[in-house]
Structure 1
Amino acid sequence: MNTVAVVGLQWGDEGKGKVVDLLSLEMDGVIRSQGGHNAGHTIVVEGKEYHFHLIPSAILHPHVKCYIGGGTVVDPRSLLNEIEGLQKEGISLKNRLFISPYAHLILPYHQLQEQIQEEGASPIGTTRRGIGPCYEDSVARMGIQLGEWVDIPVFKKRFSECSERKKRFLESMGVSSFDSKAIYEEYATFANFLKEYITPFENLIYEELKKGKKFLFEGAQGAMLDVRFGTYPYVTSSCTASGGLAVGAGLGPQSISKTLGVMKAYSTRVGNGPFPTEFSSKEMASFASHHQAREFGTTTGRKRRMGWLDIPLLKEAIRLDGVTSLAITKVDVLDHLERMKVCVDYEGGSYPSFYQGDIGRVKPVYKEFEGWKKSTKEIKKLEEFPKNVRIFLNQIETLLDCPIELVSFGPEREKTLRLS
């Protein structure tokens, strides 16, 4: 099949949005099938920044149809803001944006529940967008699917049942009850605005794939945030692996023929949780500042924690995702360094026999590389890269036993090289 999954190999924020934007030029459709508006993509086109949270960034290409799959959770207020923002820019969504009725509805009480949890003794460092509680309700069979939501009589009945259960739950946590009537009325209004986009498209895509149409599965977050195999409990609430993207789109795993894993030339994560290669204060002082490196969360605006590349964790991600090639981003952030480090193993040779729950206790074994001390921002072809950039990239390929397909060295579309 003519399909590719684009997945993050670290803790999210790897630059997937730019890669999706680039590859979607060749696609007929792009599918986002897990997570919610906790994800954030920033695309720069002709000097203008576009920020996406749920709508696939391929919506900027007029020929591409965009799909939000049944594995996602949807906040209608946030989605409406995205839609209105795109329409103000003259971007048409008519017959181009389709949302699965199997996706679940995020309601204000989900956000309230997450806020309470995050203010407790053991915060995860979530975006407080209600993503986790919505997935909890989905699994507990007390959630509301979008197909139920846009059928107003059904929504009224389901909301009455679900909100009463949620009220009792929140009251047991010491939270005063919320205004069910006001929420129902507001969300019934949202349903009338958004119902034109909600349609069961799963079989349509299946038939299109059989005809040879090209589709891209757009991953959100990253492998180390996977709900099952990430750095638990400091993870997201959905399956971020390539297999989860197919299932979340209502398709079988054979629907994905190629998987492109996206990684930064260093590591970052937002929120709490283990980070073996995190910079010391001295290393942070000599690295690029958060502003220079553009390391603020698109969704929360929080500073990202930063550190060296971690080969053992990347190998885990490549296995989990079935990665066939790599895209390495933000090489330009390393331009000023005289030397840099890459974690090639953990002390005691613990890779590959380690459990993610032990990641907080491992000690990295580093290999040092010479920097190149030259700007890469005007590079047009591989041969123009400084010698030490090429050595660095070659070593990454060798250490990961996976070919690099794309190299990115700036936020703009044109600052990308395709190597294969």
Structure 2
Amino acid sequence: MPTKVIIGAQWGDEGKAKIIDILSEKADVVVRCQGGNNAGHTVTVNEEVYKFHLIPSGILYPGKTCVVGNGVVIDPEGILGEIDHLVGKGIDVSTIKISSRAHLVMPYHKALDKAKETLSAKEGKDIGTTMKGIGPCYMDKAERTGIRVCDLYHDEVFKEKVRTNVKIKNAMLKHVYHQEVQFDAEVIIADYMRYRERLRTYIDDTTVIVYEAIKEGKDVLFEGAQGTLLDLDIGTYPYVTSSHPVTGGACIGAGIGPTMIDECIGVMKGYITRVGKGPFPTELEDEIGERIREEGHEYGTTTGRPRRCGWFDAIIGEFAVRTSGLTQIALNKIDVLKDIEKIKICVGYELNGKVIKYFPASLEDLELCKPVYEEMEGWGDISHIRTYEALPDSVKKYLARIEELCGCKITMVGVGPNRDQNIVIK
């Protein structure tokens, strides 16, 4: 198993955790590279469901080093809660390593996130964030006023940064957002001093850990969160996350160079979903869309919000292949489409009377795009099938057409949520 990056190749929620879980069995190190606890990975093992937000899902395999990299923003209360939950399930957490360079989500970040969303909602301009404080934390990071994990272990530096930031954030909350909530810097300092003692055993220079593992020939798996169209630079801006869920983000978020990546697997669903606002060309606002939502349990891991559902969009698939250099596609949840007579694939967009084959940057243009569909024959229940050869011809034709349109080989097909419901295509 070479060094691999696994990314979401749609709007997130593609079932990355299942693929990561399967590949983690042969990995030595599993690395989370970006995002915060606004993202969620769900893994089903022996009918038991595990939900991860910050800790790599590779932790379910004993002995795997699980790295939370420098590109992740960490809510100490959140990650300690995950650790406690895993300990309660009898999972060994001693192999977790948290980057000393990662930035900390602070209480005022959550308050600012909520205040901005609330104000924007009144004007119909809210983004649909999880209100976990992730965006404001990345804002401080970019503004160079953020607080990092390493700051926790330098008392005076940490206290000065908290006091300075609280003064500014309180003023913003009061005078910009007209909120009554105000923070006491000393209370925050005391809380985070308690967190640091519990976190101490997990903190390390993870850039060294990852680099040395690769140099020693160990199998390293980079675990992406969210999805390509949520990328800050190339996603459906402004309805995006505050980090880079594409292959390039894995390099920056783990602190290693691009020449150390051997393979990149893009995870897609046999249909497509999105959470929150923004244009969605193939969205199904009908009985089929509702059926896919219920059959696929399409509700957010972090928020519980219902996901918008639509037909597979090959324009988005090709975009992900191109912008992340995908070498393989893992196509999940095609079992969800069972018993639908005609399956559609979007092969282009009609924009201003012309058919285009690219994904527009402008949301105004994307809003005007009408999907151009091809129809294919459907299939019945395939959740019991375990080999490619046993799949119905209609499924094989569907897979082949997606490969052709996206320009990338499908190497894994998911026919259910469990570990054993994954077909490897050689």
Question: Where on the TM-score scale, by shorter chain, does this alignment land: which range?
Answer: over 0.9
Counterparts of 1:126 and 1:273, CA distance in 2: 12
Counterparts of 1:304 and 1:353, CA distance in 2: 21
One-letter amino acid of the counterpart of residue 382, structure 2: T
Say if 1:346 and 1:363, in contact at 8 Å, map to a contact too: yes
Alignment of 1:246-261 (within 5 A): 246-261=251-266
CA RMSD of aligned residues (A): 1.3
Alignment of 1:70-109 (within 5 A): 70-94=70-94, 96-109=95-108
Answering whether residue 415 of structure 2 is matched by residue 412 of structure 1, we say no
User: In structure 1, which of residues 345, 366, 373 is the aligned counterpart of residue 373 of structure 2?
Assistant: 366
CA displacement 1:121-163 (0-9 Å, x = unmatched): 2100011100000000011111100100233332112211222
Answering whether residue 41 of structure 2 is matched by residue 37 of structure 1, we say no
Alignment of 1:133-144 (within 5 A): 133-144=136-147
* Residue number in structure 2 paired with 1:312: 315
One-letter amino acid of the counterpart of residue 359, structure 1: L
Q: CA deviation at 1:282?
A: 4.4
Say if 1:2 and 1:209, in contact at 8 Å, map to a contact too: no
56-65 vs 187-196, greater mean Cα deviation: 187-196
Say if 2:332 and 2:413, in contact at 8 Å, map to a contact too: yes
Counterparts of 1:354 and 1:88, CA distance in 2: 47
* Residue number in structure 1 paired with 2:382: 376
Alignment of 1:332-351 (within 5 A): 332-347=335-350, 348-351=354-357
Give the alignment's TM-score, normalised by structure 1. 0.96
- What secondary structure, in the 3-state scheme, does the structure 2 residue paired with 1:412 have? coil
Say if 1:231 and 1:359, in contact at 8 Å, map to a contact too: no
- What secondary structure, in the 3-state scheme, does the structure 1 residue paired with 2:44 have? strand
134-143 vs 356-365, greater mean Cα deviation: 356-365
Counterparts of 1:151 and 1:65, CA distance in 2: 27
* Residue number in structure 2 paired with 1:175: 179
Counterparts of 2:153 and 2:346, CA distance in 1: 50
One-letter amino acid of the counterpart of residue 17, structure 1: A
Counterparts of 2:304 and 2:287, CA distance in 1: 24
Gaps of 5+ in 1: none
Counterparts of 2:359 and 2:319, CA distance in 1: 10
User: In structure 1, which of residues 161, 164, 178 is the aligned counterpart of residue 164 of structure 2?
Assistant: 161
Answering whether residue 395 of structure 2 is matched by residue 389 of structure 1, we say yes
Change over 3 Å in CA distance of 1:142–1:395 after alignment to 2: same
Q: CA deviation at 1:351?
A: 2.0
CA displacement 1:301-322 (0-9 Å, x = unmatched): 1100101111111111111111
CA displacement 1:91-127 (0-9 Å, x = unmatched): 1111x10000111000111011111111122100011
* Residue number in structure 1 paired with 2:6: 6
244-253 vs 197-206, greater mean Cα deviation: 197-206
- What secondary structure, in the 3-state scheme, does the structure 1 residue paired with 2:265 have? strand
- What secondary structure, in the 3-state scheme, does the structure 1 residue paired with 2:59 have? helix
CA displacement 1:385-405 (0-9 Å, x = unmatched): 111111111111111121001
* Residue number in structure 2 paired with 1:118: 117
- What secondary structure, in the 3-state scheme, does the structure 1 residue paired with 2:24 have? helix
Gaps of 5+ in 2: none
Answering whether residue 235 of structure 2 is matched by residue 235 of structure 1, we say no
Counterparts of 2:2 and 2:344, CA distance in 1: 37
- What secondary structure, in the 3-state scheme, does the structure 2 residue paired with 1:395 have? helix
- What secondary structure, in the 3-state scheme, does the structure 2 residue paired with 1:102 have? coil
- What secondary structure, in the 3-state scheme, does the structure 1 residue paired with 2:400 have? helix
- What secondary structure, in the 3-state scheme, does the structure 1 residue paired with 2:6 have? strand
